[in-house]
Amino acid sequence: MQRLALLKTLGDNTRYAIYLEIARSPSPRSTNEIAEVLGLHANTVRPHLERMRDVGLLEIEVDNRGVVGRPQNRYFVAPDAPSLGLEPPAFPLLAGLLATVAAQSQPAIAQVVEVGRAQGRSAVAVEATRHGRPTSRRTCVSALIDELTNLGFDPVASDDGRETTIAFSHCPYRELAEIYPELVCQLHRGIVEGFVDGYDEEYGADLETFTTTDFHTLADREPCQVSVGARYDQVVPSARAGWTPSTARTGWSNPRRTP
């Protein structure tokens, strides 16, 4: 989903109010239900719903239960729509409760990261369905930036010719990350690592392969960010001074912080 198209679509006040009503609803809403809540005519609401559906913000489910005549379309926010902080109040509450339970169970960091990695790999499958096989113009890095954008991290990238550093200018999980940094940040780390490795597994035979080389979280003094570069066996060793082959492949230990 293109961010510019998203912003243009929600730039209309009426359309934004309709989207807000749907995003905050715990269940899909019909055209008539939305119209009644907002005090609008159904014929006014309908084209706005279809416009948001066209750009991928909304999806529909068909409800023909107990309805005489034509089935009703009920609208809900598309699963891959960017988060705008409009989730129903129950969702943040549930997320906080689950995070508390997870933290109290004290899972191993490797276990937490692997949960994130599974999500990252599944995102690659969605990426492949949406865009097809990538060209040289759509590398792992650009796909990762798109994925982080969709998740609400507002990534800002800089490239020094050897690797790309992606800073997270916004954290959609910051409230929980500040309470449980070892849990939330490691899940995020796993998502990024799983996406990069999954992209390599899916397309590595056709394109230059990449790996993560550093990941900064709230626990670090540096800003939250990740660095992504070509795999060690594809570059001259001297170009990656300070990194050992094992470090380049795992991508998560930083020699500068080794006691």
pLDDT tens track, the chain, 259 positions:
566 777 788 888 899 899 988 887 878 899 999 999 899 999 999 999 999 999 888 999 887 765 566 778 899 988 877 766 666 666 677 788 888 998 899 999 999 999 999 999 998 887 777 666 665 445 788 888 888 887 878 888 888 878 888 998 888 888 888 899 889 999 999 999 999 988 888 776 555 667 777 787 776 756 788 988 775 444 333 333 333 332 233 333 332 333 3
Q: For position 206, what pLDDT does the model report? A: 56
**CA dist., res. 207 & res. 179, Å (int):** 39
Q: Spell out the CATH class of 3-77.
A: mainly alpha
pTM as predicted: 0.58
pLDDT at 236: 32
What pLDDT score does 255 carry? 29
pLDDT of residue 83: 63
pLDDT of residue 137: 45
Domain with CATH 3.30.1380.20 in the chain: 90-254
CATH for 90-254 is 3.30.1380.20
pLDDT value at residue 221: 58
